[in-house]
A and B are shown apart, each in its own frame.
Chain A
Amino acid sequence: EAAVTQSPRNKVAVTGGKVTLSCNQTNNHNNMYWYRQDTGHGLRLIHYSYGAGSTEKGDIPDGYKASRPSQENFSLILELATPSQTSVYFCASGDAGEDTQYFGPGTRLLVL
């Protein structure tokens, strides 16, 4: 099965601070995704990427940036973290859009 890892697994940040969440996949998938999960909203897409060097806005991109420096790595950056960004963040990878997405274990972020 496809392997997707995330770091850190837990993060406490201060309001206004910068937060970087990292994701690595070892299955050579073209597409990678960042979601946040909140009760009552399910999984919402923040940013995604078609391949190294590309990033695209998802459905809720405000307050977030993304970086895809290589096929394997995809980062989510919160330049100025706010308490409303407290959530669980999931990274996923996959090939074609209609194919299976493989999710990492998640990062629990608390912004105080």
Chain B
Amino acid sequence: DVVMTQTPVSLSVSLGGQVSISCRSSQSLVHNNGNTYLSWYLQKPGQSPQLLIYKVSNRFSGISDRFSGSGSGTDFTLKISRVEPDDLGVYYCGQGTQYPWTFGGGTKLELK
């Protein structure tokens, strides 16, 4: 299985600040078709996860441009700028390149 490793496990931020979350995979996430199926999700307290970013850098419908994804191969980053209260929760990366699809362990974003 592809192991997804997220760092840090938790992150404290001031409102209006900027944070970066790293996600590394144990194998390249480049699919045979050339696409890289790396997604980012946010799970707010008491809610289901929601898709933020798909295929490394594509923002999902309705997602603020304060969220940006980057990376390639095995190394990926989610950046959040001008952090707002509604951004708090647990962020997960996930890969859909190789079966079984797998998720990182999560990064909890909290207020400083």
- The reply to whether chain A is a binding partner of chain B is no
Chain B positions within 8 Å of A, measured between CB atoms, are: none
Chain A positions within 8 Å of B, measured between CB atoms, are: none
